[in-house]
Structure 1
Amino acid sequence: PIILSATDAEERDLTYSISSVPINGWLFQASDTSAVGDTITIPTTVTNDSGKVVYLSDLNGNGDGYGNFNFRAFAGESISSEGLVTIDVLSVNDPPVVDSLSFNIAENIPVGTQLDTLSAFDIDSDQSLMRDWTIIDDDSIGHFILDDTTGILSTNAILNFEDTSVYTISVTVSDNIDTSPVQKMLIQLTDIEEGVLIDKEGGIVTSEYGESDTFTVVLQSSPFDTVTVNLSLSDSTEAFLSVDSLLFPPELWSTPQIVTITGIEDSINDPNISYSIILDSTLSSDPNYNGLDVPDLSATNMARDVYGPTVEIVATPSIVNAGSSFKVTASVTDNNAVSEALLYFALGGNANFDELIMGLSEDDQYQVTIPSIAITYRGISYYISASDTIGNNSKSEIFSTNVMFAEGALSSDMESSVLEDSLPRNKWRMISIPAKLDDDQVKTVLGEALGEKTSETWAVKQWDGDKWIDPLNLLEGEGYWLIHDVDASPSFETGSGISHDQSGYTFIFQPGWNMIGNPYPFETSFELNQSFFRGPITYGWSIEGWSEESTLRPWGGYAVYNRGDSPESIILKPVQISPSLAREKEIQPHGWKLNLSAYGNTYVDPGNAIGRLSGSLEGLDYRDNPEPPYL
């Protein structure tokens, strides 16, 4: 406030009038309390009784005489000359004000990128005089930096949209006197897709022939630092990789890198093997590219197909009636496509197999029907031969089925039977039954040919390992002694029964002597390791004495001696040579051996020897053949 004053010699009451307003600033009427009243814009009377007015300079206006104005005093009709009010406005510094800015930047811009030069307004000074640009509030890492002299705002650390999408920083600046108010600035990040791109249509396919496959790997965007992707295989026996790691420096982020996978031959007859190419999560000092998951790739190593198809029987009856056909269903699979499947079948004892073409059913299985004419009391055996499209062939094992035959089908004079010339009278002979009969009682089986069994007519004996017994039944695979004194029929037939399947018949040889028979209605080969067995031997069918045999004939009985102290199991394979126990080949001994045989008018004793050979014991050993038990 300004109080105008003047003097009057007559001491009259004075009033005042503004004769000229200030050129700069504003002049206002005032109340006694110095409250600001109306603006004085033209010469006018001062309303305050005390001559009080209020002056306000222009914003940031200052200087000597800056607000000068003139006034006059009035006393009644008297008017004074003009008085000058001199107003000097002192200069007061105003702090600068930072201009508000906002930014929208990509998250993957390099560290040190200049975003902008900040600016501020200061009515008192020029922009160039601004100093001490400062960020007073930022994240703890300090992702941004501000040049304190130039006001240039730059990135100071790697940005990551996934961590923080918007940053707020607070900035001040000084004009060397005062510091500006805090100005907040928003920095919005634009998300950039980071990732590892794999270019491969379909799965990886290699082969045991050493064939290879490839895929390419590239980054989705530029990293700040090198990105590493390590590779490995889930099964290193099936393939190998051309590289075990991929490196992507920033300058080559968009250059695809090729990985080659090569199959390995494992020398195993296996199918196509699936495996995986494992790509580890990314490694990088760039947080945007560190720890990114990379999907694994599926791969298949195609088998080196030098093998024929695999054959498995899916469905076949366990027993059929003679004269009835039956269907065989098999699964035939191959790493390549199956070209054809053939079934070969033969009657029991027949070395010639007939061929049938198997058809492919709707469920990808092969089927064929063995005709009824091939199903007889002699039994049936068959195998499957298959080939694939590249010429590999395979044969299955021998399969067989039990065959039920009717009464009268099995006779004593069948082909190869030891009884084809009838039973000699009053001579002990070793016999057996070449099938499993439904009624296997001794008197039923032999009664038709020999009549009623009495102590005067005929007798059957069996060795039980310790003594001779009179058997009540004639069982397949067992051997018996028979003698009769009747006018026997030249041949006879049996009742109904089952011809054993030809997959194999197991003999269990107890220590010592065992009596066995041919369980099949046809001749079979049967050779044993003579180091552990003696036999098979039989009596009377070729000479009137013991003879060594390598085949088992239908209806014939045989003796086998187990030289060991425990039971031994031997499987008779009727459609192939039966395997003997695995033993090392015997070295030809040193020494001498003399074979002795005795021949009479009726009887023969050929199986004798004396000598002295290396490896022999003074007591009994495997070269000493015990005599069979006598009746």
Structure 2
Amino acid sequence: TFTSSNWATVQPVTVTGQDDAVDDGDVAYQILTAAATSADPAYNGIDAIDVDAVNNNDDTAAIVANPTTGLTTTENGGTDAFQVTLATPPFNQVTVLLLSSDPAEGTVPSIIQFDPSNWNVAQTVTVTGIDDIAADGDQAYQITGTGSSADVKYYNLSMSPVSVTNSDNDTPGITVTPTSGLTTTEAGGAASFTAKLASQPSQNVAITLSSSDPTEGLPSTLNALSSQLLTFTYLDWNTPQTVTVTGVDDNIDDGDISYNITGTVSSLDNGYNNFYMSNVSTTNSDDDTKGITVGVSGTPTTTEAGGTASFTVVLDTEPTDDVSIGITSSDNTEGAVSAATLTFTNQNWSTAQTVTVTGADDNAVDGDITYTAITTPASSNDANYSGVDPDNVSVINTDDDAIGFQITPTTGLTTTEASGTATFTVKLRSQPFAFDGQ
């Protein structure tokens, strides 16, 4: 209001911008001045010039996710969540298209929707972890969103990406069934076990098999490249493959021997490279029994005329050290043995050694005499053979003496009437036990 006294004083008019939540840009508007009213006909009805003004916008359309980091899902189906709101009210419905950068690790609902009435009401988005069969470690992925709307401010507008980590529940490993209780035999008896991978590899996995004691048992597979190799790929990693373990024969009485089948892994998959298969415990059943076999055919017989008999001696199993067996005669007046000692080594243990017994002569009519080729207990550092006593051999020495007189000659003697003489001799055929003659 102006008067005749203040008409020349400037009166300020303050214009205050009004806030809204709409991303409507900077908006121009006018301050409208109405026609003046006054008793002074010169001013009455005069319309002052309208004033142009611009209200600067402080709102920006945005699809807001919270939080955008720190989310964790698990391959067991574990979930995590974030919330989404719009930063400004839209003029039309807004559909937010949600996507996972790696659906093999985590998934989200495909859409959420806002309209002008619920634009600032937070909507919860649940992220669900997805299981795989690879030991690939914890995997990072993102959830992204894109607006679809007739409101140009929200059309094709991107949501801030949400970072998520999916915790892995797979571990590199080799499943072996069974790992104990296998039995092989020295007769070539076999046992078997199966092996498969515990998780899918990214590269081929080769398992080289070996035996802790190849003299007792050996593993074998159907692999065409090597009979002691298992190969798994990302396609057949969980298909069990059979390993056959076959007992190996030896000639030693060493009892049932335990040994292990082991496996070393090589692969370009770092999770499996230099991995080790669980040992498979196996026992090889022994089929050897220590012993010394004395071979005799019938009843050995010698004669006083020097006739001989023989027998053989051989070990039943391979010794771990030399084995010596002494041989003596129980009556050297009836027969003598050809060797005082027989020695067997781990080279000649299975070769029979022959002992010859030669009859001894005497002059007595003592009949056929039985005597013994005595085998003494074995001497050896091999505990299996030390002290083992082989069978003795009973021998008969045939007598060649008879009671009587030997007169030579018994015919052809000639004497003469002129007192010519002839002679003959007389002797005993055998040594008498006593002499009573004159």
What TM-score do you get using the length of structure 1 for normalisation?
A: 0.33
By relative contact order (CA 8 Å, sep 6+), the higher-ranking structure is 2
TM-score (norm 2): 0.45
